[in-house]
Amino acid sequence: MLFLWLYMFYSCAGSCAGLAARGSPAPPRAAPPLLPGEPGEESSLEEQRAAPDAGSPISSFFNGSGTKRLPQAIIIGVKKGGTRALLEFLRVHPDVRAVGAEPHFFDRNYERGLAWYRDLMPRTLEGQITMEKTPSYFVTKEAPARVSSMCGATKLIVVVRDPVTRAISDYTQTLSKRPDIPTFESLTFKNRTTGLIDTSWSAIQIGIYAKHLENWLLHFPLRQLLFVSGERLISDPAGELGRVQDFLGLKRIISDKHFYFNKTKGFPCLKKAEGSSKPHCLGKTKGRTHPDIDQEVVQRLRDFYRPFNMKFYQMTGQDFGWD
* CA 66 vs CA 56, 57, 106: distances in Å: 10, 8, 25
Catalytic status, residue 284: no
Q: Is the dihedral of CA 290, 307, 141, 54 positive or negative?
A: positive
Residue in 108, 109, 111 with CA at minimum distance from that of residue 34? 108
**Residue 288 assigned as binding residue:** yes
Q: Looking at 80, 133, 271, 311, which residue is catalytic?
A: 80
Number of CB atoms found within 10 A of residue 47's CB: 8
194 is in an annotated binding site: no
| Residue 82 annotated in ligand binding | yes
φ, ψ at 103 (rounded to 5°)? -65, -30
Exposure string of 129-149, with b = 16+ CB inside 10 Å and e = fewer, is bbbbbbbbbbbbebbbebbbb
Distance of alpha carbon 145 from its chain centroid, rounded? 17
Chain Cα centroid distance, residue 148: 16
- DSSP letters, 125-156, are -TTPEEEEE-GGGGG-TTHHHHHHHH-TT-EE
Q: Is 290 annotated as a binding residue?
A: yes
Distance of CA 205 to the CA centre of its chain: 17
Q: Is 286 annotated as a binding residue?
A: yes
Kind of pairing between the strands at 196-197 and 225-229:
unpaired
Helix (H) or strand (E) run with residue 190 in it: strand 189-191
Residues 263, 269, 272, 276, CA torsion sign: negative
> Is 289 labeled as ligand-binding?
yes
Q: Name the nearest CA neighbour of 68 among 8, 114, 9.
A: 114
If you ran DSSP here, which 8-state letter would residue 100 be given? S
Give CA 8 to chain center in angstroms. Answer: 34
Binding-site residues from annotation for 3'-phosphoadenylyl sulfate: 80-84, 161, 169, 286-290
Give catalytic residue positions.
80
- Binding-site positions read 80-84, 161, 169, 286-290
